[in-house]
Amino acid sequence: MKAFALALTLSAAPALGNDGAEFLTLKGHGGPVMAVSVDDAGRVVSGSFDNAVALWQDGSPTWLEAHDAAVTAVTMGPDGGLFSAGDDFVIYRWSATGATEIGRHAGKIRGLHVSDDGRWLASAGWDGRIGIWPLGPLGPLAEGTPHMIEVGAGVNDVQFGPAGQLFAATTTGEILVYEDLHAPARDLVRQGFGINRLLISEQGWLVYGAVDGATRVIDADTGAALADFTLDRRPILALAHHPASGQIAVGDGQGYIMLIDTQAWRIARDFRAMREGPVWALAFAPDGTRIWAAGIHDLIYGWPVALMDQFDAVEAGPRSFLQDPDSMTNGERQFMRKCSICHALNETGSRKAGPHLAGLFGRTAGSLKGYRYSETLTGSDIVWTAQTIDALFDLGPDHYIPGSKMPMQRITASADRQDLIDYLKLATNTQEDN
């Protein structure tokens, strides 16, 4: 990697996906993606099991390689500084000259956060310590001299509060508050199950997600309960906040993303985002119209918030479809699970990620007027038939149509694929000779 190219990328990378109605994927990692961060300019950074950090520009990655194990935390400071940490116990700061080691823990690192003034970086370690790393000459600590806080339990996450205090979430179910980094912490929460993620707002509330599925809002000063959005899904693995639009995104171990409206304190959206596995990382685009999500796959998915309008708003309990799945035929269930997020059955005029499916059979891929296809499908010689649709879901779009914008979706059972095909023939008002 050339230092000059990295300098340009760090200083001038354009925002990805300005069209909030388009489904996007970022592909290139060689393993599951554990961490995602987005700065105010829309720059996306990710960390993966492949030991690499990726800085994404126009959908293509610049690879930042220094870690010797999985990268589990990435963050960016207000000055554009980029930081990463992982299972090799090391924290790096990235610049035009490459990686500079800031410090080390004695165990895996699970969280990073830069203070609002850009002066401090906090790190959360499974070695039972919090690292406080000065990023400049200001403050009570000498530049380059870390301050390690002994917690006594593994630390999953750290967040600086609006008044400069530090919050820490532990594997033993505590939220600790440090008003003075050189004085003992006070307990804000003791809930019995490990707490994985924290969010603190300027309005004085705190959201936490825990191993037992707890998703709760409390007063960040007193710990008093304000709201509870716990569903029957566990564990909570990712949280993201977009203050301007009043949205919180919650990702869990069963692959769901729940959106919370912080103005009304209600669940606004709830949908299964991952075909399999958990949601490990979430980050909002700067304008709040897109959620970047990552998990067990080697892809990062850019979900338009507007696409979730097809799902019921829920007040309690998971609910994915406008109708009870048990009342559907198997073909319709396959469509709702695999296709309905991106495609309408008929030409409704709704803004979906994919083209509508009316008249699907016999249509050439990439030929529907008015829809902006990827270059891969423009001019394609694929014609949608029972055979090509079967192959699409047997192999998965990434393999059947490499480079397509379609998310990775497979239907492994041939009977399920045939049921979907039979359903689509009826629902799209199409006749085809078998």
Summarize pLDDT for 278-329 with one digit per residue, the tens. Answer: 999 999 999 999 999 999 888 898 888 877 655 332 232 233 334 556 778 9
Place 396 in a pLDDT band, splitting at 50, 70 and 90. confident
Whether 149 is covered by a domain: the verdict is: yes
Q: Comparing C-alpha atoms, which of 90, 108, 110 is closest to residue 99? A: 90
pLDDT at 226 (0 to 100): 96
Whether 434 is covered by a domain: the verdict is: no
Q: Comparing C-alpha atoms, which of 246, 253, 247 is closest to residue 196? A: 253
Q: What's the total number of domains in the chain?
A: 2
Residues 248 and 113 reside in one and the same domain: yes
CA pair distance 112, 121, nearest whole angstrom? 7
Residues 181 and 245 reside in one and the same domain: yes
Whether 316 is covered by a domain: the verdict is: no
Residues 190 and 283 reside in one and the same domain: yes
Residues 277 and 330 reside in one and the same domain: no
Whether 237 is covered by a domain: the verdict is: yes
**CB-neighbour burial class of residue 381 (10 A; exposed 0-12, middle 13-18, buried 19+):** exposed
Strand 225-228's sheet: what is its strand order?
195-200, 205-210, 215-219, 225-228
pLDDT at 91 (0 to 100): 97
Residues 399 and 299 reside in one and the same domain: no
pLDDT at 28 (0 to 100): 85
Residues 330 and 295 reside in one and the same domain: no
Last residue of a domain, one of 310, 337, 365: 310
pLDDT at 220 (0 to 100): 97
Whether 102 is covered by a domain: the verdict is: yes
Residues 288 and 330 reside in one and the same domain: no
Residues 181 and 240 reside in one and the same domain: yes
DSSP label of 78: T
Low-confidence winner among 123-127, 307-311, 392-396 (lowest mean pLDDT): 307-311
Whether 41 is covered by a domain: the verdict is: yes
Domain limits for position 136 = 3-310
Tell whether the model's pLDDT for residue 9 goes beyond 60. no
pLDDT above 90 covers a percentage of the chain that reads 57
Q: 66-90 burial, b for 16+ CB within 10 Å, e for fewer? A: bbeebbbbbbbbeeebbbbbbbbbb
Tell whether the model's pLDDT for residue 207 goes beyond 80. yes
pLDDT at 266 (0 to 100): 96
Residues 369 and 242 reside in one and the same domain: no
Residues 251 and 378 reside in one and the same domain: no
Last residue of a domain, one of 275, 310, 345: 310
Measured CA distances, 355 to 31, 360, 371, 403 (Å): 30, 10, 6, 17
Q: What is the DSSP string of 113-135?
A: EE-TTSSEEEEEETTSEEEEEE-
Place 16 in a pLDDT band, splitting at 50, 70 and 90. very low
CATH of the domain at 66: 2.130.10.10
pTM attached to this predicted model: 0.69
pLDDT at 318 (0 to 100): 30
pLDDT at 336 (0 to 100): 79
pLDDT at 6 (0 to 100): 46
Residues 124 and 234 reside in one and the same domain: yes
Tell whether the model's pLDDT for residue 64 goes beyond 90. yes
pLDDT at 12 (0 to 100): 38
pLDDT at 45 (0 to 100): 97
Mean pLDDT, the chain, rounded, equals 84
pLDDT at 347 (0 to 100): 82
CATH of the domain at 388: 1.10.760.10
pLDDT at 312 (0 to 100): 33
Whether 156 is covered by a domain: the verdict is: yes
Tell whether the model's pLDDT for residue 88 goes beyond 70. yes
Residues 289 and 356 reside in one and the same domain: no
CB 167 within 8 A of CB 201: no
Whether 242 is covered by a domain: the verdict is: yes
